[in-house]
């Protein structure tokens, strides 16, 4: 290789130096590597290069297999984390945590999201679906009582009713909410989750 030029500025060669370097390479008697891959001497050259590089690689399959499996598992984890491939329940869980996470316990929100997902393909009336989303979280309430509380949410679109219930209770912490406020807020969240799932599948 030619010496580094003295007129090197800002990390770049000057045009005159590049021309001189190219001329020097073209006039060398010893070719640094075969220019023509179909030439006869090319096979010998690449065999020599591969022999020099071989010790740098793991040659035994037994040594390579565990590392290959780890690499494949890492790629699968990365591909699985792709937001474009997020499942509907994951999207709804994220939406619920974003909207209600500061007020409602996260395990409560996750339970509602998962239950709402299991009920999306059913033909059950909306009020019953909302009750089914929260009845395990509110065992002290009878299904009939929850049905009465669920009606306003079942027959209105997500929006004013949901926001009104959330806003009126947003000044209180979860532990300071009364049992009826917790039930209403849970049903409002269930309605929000069902609406999000419906939008996701639309």
* pLDDT attached to residue 179: 92
pLDDT at position 171 = 67
What pLDDT score does 175 carry?
Answer: 87
User: CB 186: neighbour CB atoms within 10 A?
Assistant: 26
Domain borders along the chain are 15-54, 87-201
pLDDT in tens, 102-123: 888 889 999 999 999 888 777 8
Task: Calculate helix-pair angle for 126-134, 106-118, nearest 10 degrees.
Answer: 140
Residues of the chain with pLDDT under 70: 1-13, 29-35, 53-68, 70, 74, 76-86, 156-171, 201-202
Q: List phi, psi (to 5°) of 3.
A: -65, 155
CA atoms of 40 and 44, how far apart (whole Å): 8
Check if the beta carbon of residue 153 is closer than 8 Å to that of residue 188: yes
Distance CA 170, CA 188 (A): 13
Q: What angle do the packed helices 106-118 and 179-201 form, to 10 degrees?
A: 50
Give this prediction's pTM.
Answer: 0.55
d(CA 153, CA 191): 6
Closest to 18 in 3D by CA, of 35, 34, 32, 4: 4
pLDDT the model gives residue 176: 87
């Amino acid at each position: 290789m030619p010496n580094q030029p003295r007129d090197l500025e800002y990390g770049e060669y000057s045009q005159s130096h590049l021309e001189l370097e190219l001329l020097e390479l073209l006039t060398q008697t010893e070719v640094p590597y075969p220019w023509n891959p179909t030439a006869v001497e090319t096979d010998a050259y690449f065999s020599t290069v591969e022999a020099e590089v071989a010790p740098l690689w793991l040659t035994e399959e037994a040594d390579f297999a565990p590392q290959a499996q780890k690499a494949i598992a890492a790629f699968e984890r990365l591909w699985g984390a792709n937001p474009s491939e997020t499942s509907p329940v994951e999207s709804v869980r994220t939406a619920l945590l974003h909207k209600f996470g500061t007020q409602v316990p996260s395990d409560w929100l996750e339970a509602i999201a998962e239950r709402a997902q299991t009920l999306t393909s059913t033909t059950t009336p909306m009020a019953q679906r909302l009750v089914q989303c929260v009845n395990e979280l509110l065992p002290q309430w009878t299904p009939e009582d929850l049905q009465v509380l669920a009606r306003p949410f079942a027959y209105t679109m997500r929006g004013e009713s949901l926001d009104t219930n959330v806003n009126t209770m947003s000044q209180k912490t979860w532990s300071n909410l009364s049992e009826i406020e917790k039930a209403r807020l849970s049903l409002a969240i269930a309605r929000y989750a069902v609406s999000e799932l419906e939008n996701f599948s639309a």
